[in-house]
Amino acid sequence: MTVMEFNRDHLSNEELIFIYRNLLLPRMIEEKMLVLLRQGKISKWFSGIGQEAIAVGSTLALKKDEWIMPLHRNLGVFTSRQMGLSKLFKQWQGVKDGYSKGRERSFHFGSAPHYICGMISHLGPQLALANGAALAAQLKQEQRVALAYSGDGGTSEGDFHEALNVAAVWNLPVIFIIENNGYGLSTPTNEQFRCEQLVDKAKGYGMEGVRIDGNNVLDVFNTIKGVRDYCLEHQRPYLIECMTFRMRGHEEASGTKYVPSALFEEWSQKDPVMNYEQFLVQQNIMDQTAVEAIRTEFRAYIESELKDAFESPDIQPDTTEELADVYAKRHLQDSLPENNINIEDPAAGIHNSPATEKRFIDAISEALTQSMERHDNLILMGQDIAEYGGAFKITEGMVEQFGKARVRNTPLCESAIIGAALGLSLEGYKSMVEMQFADFVSVGFNQIVNNLAKMHYRWGQSAQVVVRMPTGAGVGAGPFHSQSNEAWFTHVPGLKVVYPANPQDAKGLLIAAINDPNPVLFFEHKALYRSISGLVPNTYYETPIGKAATVKRGTDITLITYGSGVHWAMEYQQAHPEISLHILDLRTLLPLDYGAIREAVAATGKVLILHEDTLTGGIGGEISAWISEHCFELLDAPILRCASLDTPIPFNIQLEKNFLPKNRLPQLIRQLHNY
Ligand SMILES: Cc1ncc(C[n+]2csc(CCOP(=O)(O)OP(=O)(O)O)c2C)c(N)n1
């Protein structure tokens, strides 16, 4: 007798054997991996031995075009989606023909054709991506769910809470599976949470949930099939807690000393593969000979695919390719005639366009509206952006024009919403996520710098997400509503960072950001929103990302700046016509326009870099270093920087003035002029 009761339900013998084959394969692969690990032929390995029924049962219960967000113990997801072993082995070997060109470890990769999204090491963020994928299916009115896993330890992450809450509030067909194996590394569940069972959390989010035996592959399969139907019919999420046990260490090197040996004895009786095999044999669905035949077949298959992988040549690093793959390339089909955008000369459309005087804020609204009209697949998300129109009223009226499905109020959860945007991107959607204030991006930071930014380099998937960042000081808003945090992001390969200084650029750059296939941080200085205006072409046009603009030519001093710095420089120039400033507005901070910087340096030989961001670690330091390295012969004086004080931003308006660099600008210009 097996210790488990298997309920075959309506499954035919062929189906039951198919499930067996899918359950056995990852076990046999893992057993082989453990041998190779001992032989030093592979590096780190996270074992899912003992937990296979969850990944296998759930993957088989889904349709092949439903997104799965697997984790580090879910080999069964990859094998049950019938991914060839050779390429998987190459992935683990870190060779070029794996899924990540050798750039990612074991299970940290995805494959869009298999609807598998690559995890990042951080536990939690993958859950929100499932929301985005499910939202995409819902918007397309397709009957598809998305499924994401979490460990018991991972449920303590804020991302777990955010993702479940959003799925419930937005009525998304997402299946969340907790693999409760009793430990998060060495930490037992009683040091992880206080609820009786993790599935109890479902109630708190207003969703249904069930706890099942995660080692019983038929229970997992049948439950998830039923849950899938429920999620689709009711357009609701569902939480499933699968009880299981990890039969190996957290990863092979970490051992299992922290786990009482009685637990191993208990759970080895409940081994998912052996029990299911015995069930099939006892029910005369397979005999021992058939079992052996499958094992022999798999052994041969594994060996031959491994041979192929081991014969793969070592990677010869190609720096050009490494750098080129950080960003997704824009495709020619993006320059559609009706968009009036020529990819070779994206700003061409503006030459003949009538223009209207507009405020900075109106230019941004117009860019969003025109982009929403052009792109059916563009979704706007943010706190209070629908009926209320957003904290700064930039999206006012858009919910009436484009509907609630595309102009979405979000709960207070920056991380989950940026994650959902990335999930939407998997399905070909574009998103704009509005930070209510740029400061609050800190709670969505991980999704941006680790998920959005690295995705294309890691497994070739683009992240079409624009994060709008109302930024900057000067309005007495204190330390958490005034920060210039662009330098947090200019350090991150894979992101683009855009920072317009005038209405025309604001509109053109935002349109360009939305058309860009890469994640873009779009900084909008909120003190400029209503204080400056200018002529803005009425047409739909792009201002190219990565191109600086010479605001004013001059002969004495080069001022390299952006955002409000441009206006401070111009103000100074108007007040002091005796000093001729050459002013360069960077407009994009990542990637920097080095050609324009060089030209600007050459114009005067004296360089002052001005930014509102604090001095230390600001982009000014980077630009200064680059000029020293590449334009030293053009310099007639040391490069100076004018930036905010290295303090948090004070609330009192006099203190804030003292903090900001504007008051120090005249003295630094004179110092440079006199050099
Ligand atoms: C945000 C984050 N913190 C810490 C870690 C390091 N870490 C990797 S796996 C792990 C334990 C995870 O436990 P659990 O979620 O229960 O999953 P299991 O490994 O048991 O399958 C930890 C702490 C991480 N990957 N991500």
Amino acid at 301: Y
Which stretches of 39-124 are DSSP H helices?
Answer: 52-61, 75-80, 85-93
Q: Kindly give, in sequence order, each residue whose CB lies less than 8 Å from that of residue 45, ignoring residues fewer than 6 positions away.
A: 30, 33, 34, 37, 106, 251, 252
Rounded CA separation 507/521 (Å): 14
Other CB atoms within a 10 A radius of the CB of residue 540 amount to 22
DSSP 127-155: HHHHHHHHHHHHHTT----EEEEEETGGG
Q: How far is CA 307 from the centre of its chain?
A: 35
CA of 159 to the centre of ligand 1 (A): 13
Per-residue pLDDT for 337 more than 50?
no
Specify the residue for token string 């809470």.
161
- Segment 138-155 mean pLDDT: 98
Asked if 20 and 280 touch (Cβ cutoff 8 Å), the reply is yes
CA of 153 to the centre of ligand 1 (A): 6
* pLDDT tens digits, 546-584: 999 999 999 999 999 999 999 999 999 999 999 999 999
Asked if 187 and 263 touch (Cβ cutoff 8 Å), the reply is no
**Nearest atom within ligand 1 for CA of residue 152:** 16
CA of 363 to the centre of ligand 1 (A): 45
Other CB atoms within a 10 A radius of the CB of residue 470 amount to 25
CA of 240 to the centre of ligand 1 (A): 19
Q: Is residue 5 helix, strand or coil?
A: coil
Specify the residue for token string 């930024």.
471
Residue with CA nearest ligand 1 atom 24:
122
Per-residue pLDDT for 50 more than 60?
yes
**Nearest atom within ligand 1 for CA of residue 72:** 21
Residue with CA nearest ligand 1 atom 20:
184
Which 8-state DSSP code applies to residue 590? E
Structure tokens given for 84:
């060839």
CA of 235 to the centre of ligand 1 (A): 30
Amino acid at 71: L
Ligand 1 contacts (CB < 6 A) are 73, 121-123, 151-154, 179, 181, 183-185, 246, 250
pLDDT for the residue numbered 211? 98
pLDDT for the residue numbered 347? 63
Task: Identify whether 481 is a catalytic site residue.
Answer: yes
Q: How far from each other are the two terminal CA atoms of the chain, in whole angstroms?
A: 92
* pLDDT tens digits, 155-193: 999 999 999 999 999 999 999 999 999 999 999 999 999
- Segment 330-354 mean pLDDT: 65
pLDDT for the residue numbered 663? 97
**Nearest atom within ligand 1 for CA of residue 46:** 19
CA distances, 622 to each of 509, 582, 626 (Å): 23, 20, 6
- Segment 240-260 mean pLDDT: 92
Asked if 490 and 619 touch (Cβ cutoff 8 Å), the reply is yes
Q: Is residue 16 helix, strand or coil?
A: helix
Structure tokens given for 593:
């326009």
Note if the pTM is more than 0.85: yes
Rounded CA separation 459/94 (Å): 13
Instruction: Compute the mean pLDDT over every residue in the chain, rounded to the nearest whole number.
Output: 96
- pLDDT band for position 312 (cuts 50, 70, 90): very high
**Nearest atom within ligand 1 for CA of residue 180:** 16
Per-residue pLDDT for 333 more than 60?
no
Rounded CA separation 537/559 (Å): 27
CA of 52 to the centre of ligand 1 (A): 18
- pLDDT band for position 344 (cuts 50, 70, 90): low
- pLDDT band for position 274 (cuts 50, 70, 90): very high
- Segment 349-360 mean pLDDT: 88
Rounded CA separation 488/305 (Å): 44
Choosing from 123, 242, 245, 449 the residue with most ligand 1 atoms within 8 A of its CB, the one to mutate for a pocket test is: 123
Percent of the chain at pLDDT > 90 equals 94
Per-residue pLDDT for 323 more than 80?
yes
pLDDT for the residue numbered 106? 87
CA of 202 to the centre of ligand 1 (A): 21
Rounded CA separation 161/148 (Å): 13
pLDDT for the residue numbered 348? 66
Nearest to 649 by CA among 499, 476, 505: 476
* pLDDT tens digits, 479-530: 999 999 999 999 999 999 999 999 999 999 999 999 999 999 999 999 999 9
Rounded CA separation 427/420 (Å): 11
Q: What is the CA radius of gyration of the chain?
A: 28
pLDDT for the residue numbered 2? 65
Structure tokens given for 391:
């904290």
- Of the residues 72, 108, 161, 481, which is catalytic? 481
Choosing from 185, 186, 248 the residue with most ligand 1 atoms within 8 A of its CB, the one to mutate for a pocket test is: 185
* pLDDT tens digits, 73-104: 999 999 999 999 999 999 999 999 999 999 99
CA of 609 to the centre of ligand 1 (A): 43
Rounded CA separation 436/423 (Å): 21
**Nearest atom within ligand 1 for CA of residue 71:** 21
Q: Kindly give, in sequence order, each residue whose CB lies less than 8 Å from that of residue 500, ignoring residues fewer than 6 positions away.
A: 506, 509, 510, 523, 524, 543, 563, 587
Which stretches of 207-336 are DSSP H helices?
Answer: 217-234, 261-268, 272-282, 288-310, 319-324
- pLDDT band for position 345 (cuts 50, 70, 90): low
Residue with CA nearest ligand 1 atom 11:
184
Percent of the chain at pLDDT > 70 equals 97
Per-residue pLDDT for 595 more than 80?
yes
Rounded CA separation 640/621 (Å): 10
Other CB atoms within a 10 A radius of the CB of residue 609 amount to 27
Specify the residue for token string 């298999």.
114
Which 8-state DSSP code applies to residue 41? S
pLDDT for the residue numbered 329? 96
- Segment 119-143 mean pLDDT: 98
**Nearest atom within ligand 1 for CA of residue 250:** 19
**Nearest atom within ligand 1 for CA of residue 184:** 13
Q: Kindly give, in sequence order, each residue whose CB lies less than 8 Å from that of residue 192, ignoring residues fewer than 6 positions away.
A: 152, 153, 155, 156, 184
CA of 3 to the centre of ligand 1 (A): 30
